[in-house]
Amino acid sequence: MPLSGTIVVDENLCKACELCIVNCPAQVIALDKSRITPRGFHPASLYKEGCTGCGTCSVVCPEAAITVYREKRTEKESNA
Ligand code: SF4
Ligand code: SF4
């Protein structure tokens, strides 16, 4: 089953180094030029669908600013 996920970036930690962006296999992260963090950077942000929840961005982030949430989609989830 395909995995889907999402990320939350702690804008107090992100320093816009773009490591998560260049390492994301799904290419779904970009700097959000419409926002500025308390430290004065444009924060990394998901900008389109397609995150698989692979966790790579979280691993490569030198600031540990990214939390990954993963959801496994199954067809028989509700047969409890
Ligand atoms: S969890 Fe994986 S697919 Fe999702 S944004 Fe991070 S690196 Fe990209
Ligand atoms: S790797 Fe971390 S610090 Fe660098 S842009 Fe991504 S979230 Fe920000």
| Residue range 42-66, pLDDT digits in tens | 999 999 999 999 999 999 999 999 9
Q: Which atom of ligand 1 is nearest to 29's Cα?
A: 5
Strand partners, 68: 7
How far, in Å, from the CA of 64 to the mean position of ligand 1? Answer: 14
Q: Are strands 66-72 and 44-46 parallel, antiparallel or unpaired?
A: unpaired
Residues 66 and 23: beta-carbon distance below 8 Å: no
Task: Say if pTM beats, i.e. exceeds, 0.85.
Answer: yes
Tokens representing 10 are 């702690």
Residue nearest to atom 7 of ligand 2 (CA): 14
- Return the pLDDT at 79: 43
For residue 17, is pLDDT > 60? yes
| Structural domains in the chain, sorted by start | 3-72 (3.30.70.3270)
From 11, 12, 13, 14, give the residue whose CB has the most ligand 2 atoms within 8 Å, as the site to mutate.
14
Q: Which of 12-21, 23-32, 71-80 has the lowest mean pLDDT?
A: 71-80
